[in-house]
């Protein structure tokens, strides 16, 4: 008998061919899976890069806006400090002049009280003298 006519040999040949076909098909599927996985990874990387670029752009815009706002706040604070300094400076001389006026008034009043005391004493002495004369 020839090996090709033997049914067992034929079955083995068929099994070998089927095994080779399965191996090729599996390898093809594995290559296809690898390609798809690489494509997916590439798309993911690209999407991630785009998202990071958008986030970075947005952050830069927000930081720039915050810097502008901070500059405005600093200018407003400086203006407020200047205004407070002006008001304080305007009040200080007024307090000094009132203090001087008060002292001048007190100095003027002090002699006036003394003179009143002298007048009172003079009146008393005048009254005493008048009583002595009348007696």
pTM: 0.43
* Alpha helices, H only, the chain: 7-134
Contacts with 4 (C-beta within 8 Å, 6 or more apart), sequence order: 10, 13
Model confidence pLDDT, tens digit, residues 29-40? 999 999 999 999
Given a contact cutoff of 8 angstroms between Cβ atoms, the answer to whether 129 and 135 are in contact is no
Given a contact cutoff of 8 angstroms between Cβ atoms, the answer to whether 17 and 23 are in contact is no
Buried b / exposed e across 40-53, counting CB within 10 Å, b at 16+?
eeeeeeeeeeeeee
Half-sphere exposure of 34 (CA within 13 A, CB side): 6
Give dist(CA 38, CA 42) in Å, integer: 6
Kindly report which listed range (63-67, 80-84, 108-112, 128-132) carries the lowest average pLDDT score.
108-112
Give the model's confidence band at 113: pLDDT under 50 very low, under 70 low, under 90 confident, else very high: low
Give dist(CA 47, CA 45) in Å, integer: 5
Give residue limits of the domains in the chain.
1-110
Pair of tokens at residue 61: 């815009």
């Amino acid at each position: 008998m020839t090996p090709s006519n033997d049914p067992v040999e034929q079955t083995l040949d068929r099994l070998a061919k089927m095994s080779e076909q399965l191996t090729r098909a599996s390898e093809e599927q594995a290559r296809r899976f690898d390609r798809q996985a690489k494509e997916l990874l590439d798309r993911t990387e690209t999407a991630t890069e785009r998202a990071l670029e958008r986030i970075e752009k947005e952050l830069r815009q927000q930081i720039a806006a915050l810097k502008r706002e901070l500059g405005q706040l600093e200018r407003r604070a400086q203006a407020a400090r200047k205004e407070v300094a002006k008001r304080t400076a305007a009040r200080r001389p007024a307090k000094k002049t009132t203090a001087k006026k008060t002292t001048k008034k007190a100095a003027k009043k002090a002699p006036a009280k003394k003179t009143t005391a002298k007048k009172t004493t003079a009146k008393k002495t005048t009254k005493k003298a008048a009583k002595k004369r009348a007696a």
